[in-house]
């Protein structure tokens, strides 16, 4: 009985640690501007933070040799409420869609 209990506890903790490793950070929007304040990449949808930083590195790689300044990055954090509750996220999308049309 103890072996089964230890096995269940071990599986539980291993699944929690696997979830924590795969938990990615998301951002609400990501805006990247060239040194001359021209939009290089802009999105207002939920994307991973790593994806936004990838485009920031591409912008710097392209424009840093030409200008003394580097590209500018503007992003904000994603509300975890929409990330975890699909019903609230759907209501938010439907409400905003109807609100934008009126």
| 26-59 pLDDT per residue, tens | 887 888 998 888 888 888 777 888 888 998 999 8
Question: Is pLDDT larger for residue 102 or for residue 45?
Answer: 45
Question: How far apart, in whole angstroms, are the C-alpha atoms of residue 71 and residue 35?
Answer: 5
Residues linked to residue 75 through DSSP beta bridges, in sequence order = 30
Q: What is the 3-state secondary structure (H, E, C) of the chain?
A: CHHHHHHHHHHHHHHHHHHHHHCCCEEEEEEEECCCCCEEEEECCCEEHHHHHHHHHHHHHHHCCCCCCCCEEEEEECCHHHHHCHHHHHHHHHHHHHHHHC
> What predicted TM-score, i.e. pTM, was given to this entire model?
0.53
C-alpha–C-alpha distance, residues 13 and 56, integer Å:
36
**CA 84 – CA 35 distance, rounded (Å):** 37
Span 69-85, pLDDT tens digits: 888 988 886 555 444 55
14 pLDDT band (50/70/90 cuts)? Answer: low
């Amino acid at each position: 009985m103890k072996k089964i209990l230890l096995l269940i506890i071990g599986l539980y903790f291993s699944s929690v640690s696997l979830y924590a490793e795969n938990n990615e950070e998301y951002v609400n929007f990501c805006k990247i501007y060239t040194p001359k304040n021209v939009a290089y990449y802009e999105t207002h949808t939920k994307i991973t933070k790593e994806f936004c930083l990838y485009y920031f590195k591409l912008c710097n790689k392209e424009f840093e040799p030409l200008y003394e300044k580097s590209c500018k990055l503007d992003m904000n954090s994603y509300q975890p409420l929409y990330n975890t509750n699909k019903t609230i996220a759907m209501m938010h999308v439907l409400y905003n869609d109807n609100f934008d049309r009126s």
